[in-house]
Amino acid sequence: MTVKGFAPAKINLTLHVTGQRDDGFHTLDSLVVFGAARDQIIVREASELSLTVEGPEAANVPPGQDNLVMRAAGLMAKGRGAAITLIKNLPVASGIGGGSADAAATLRALSQFWGEPLPKPGEILNLGADVPVCMGRRPTRMAGIGEVLSPAPDMPEYSGMVLVNPRVSVSTPEIFRRLENKCNPAMPDVIPTFGGAQGLADWLTDQRNDLEVPAISVQPVIGDVLQAIKDTGSLIARMSGSGATCFGLFETEYQAKAARAKIYATHPEWWGVWFGLNPVELNPN
């Protein structure tokens, strides 16, 4: 028996840091969507639990027990074995939830593989703040420390997006340490339905990623990435998560494809993809 699952990139269209709890965790308010760029999980029968990492971004992924995939598998294994293969296409520690998406895909795949229910929400949250939202893979408003999830409107049909990462590492704890104000306003109570990409961009202009400025102070090249995206004619350019991946929104998929080509021509060393920002038809796993 073989079970396959997909782990799409998580994109924070907004990321408002609204406070810090006594235990040190920061509270957030974020509009999260998912893109067609993705990793893949493959589960096969085996006597022991193991992980093999393949794909273009495999070199930067630790295959040991500290890997989120193995930690997620450990929640469900109960002494059982499975050979897990992670095909890594998304860059590591890049602000698009790659590890969290991989963990979520692993839980879904093993649930089907072993015929077991998923772990409890608290156990899933303990894997990481982004893992619960990655379980759903739909536009979502994420609040609290990642445990408060509510449905968000679908993204405009036919719109396009590019993701660009300059291949620099960013320390999330360092970004939060550099954040001067940790008690910022949340998003409006109601997220509207967007009639088109321009309407989404106009709304996003009034929102924020509060981690963008401190991230640029740590890695100034993030500012270069944002400018490169703006120079392609994007409706808006913004950093996702704690960086260093940035996104650009376009009216059409064709414009997003052309923007990716233009950026690659100037910066072939940067990682980048383009896709349509429509509801992605994902494997049910």
Tokens at 223, concatenated: 């500012």
| Distance (Å, whole) CA 100 – CA 18 | 22
Among 10, 29, 88, 210, the active-site one is: 10
- Smallest CA-to-CA distance from 149 within 140, 158, 162 is with 140
Whether 130 is a known active-site residue: answer: yes
CB 143 within 8 A of CB 17: no
The CB density around residue 249, as the number of other CB atoms within 10 Å, is: 25
Tokens at 102, concatenated: 């991989």
Which residue's entry shows tokens 């990716």?
Answer: 260
Whether 10 is a known active-site residue: answer: yes
Q: What is the DSSP string of 199-213?
A: HHHHHHHTS-BTTHH
The CB density around residue 128, as the number of other CB atoms within 10 Å, is: 18
Among 29, 39, 130, 210, the active-site one is: 130
Q: Cα dist. 178→157, 213, 217, 223, 256 in Å? A: 37, 9, 8, 16, 32
| Distance (Å, whole) CA 85 – CA 230 | 37
| Distance (Å, whole) CA 92 – CA 112 | 26
Q: Which residues touch 31 (CB under 8 Å, ≥6 apart)?
A: 12, 13, 14, 139, 140, 141, 142, 152, 187, 191, 207
Q: Annotated catalytic sites, by residue? A: 10, 130
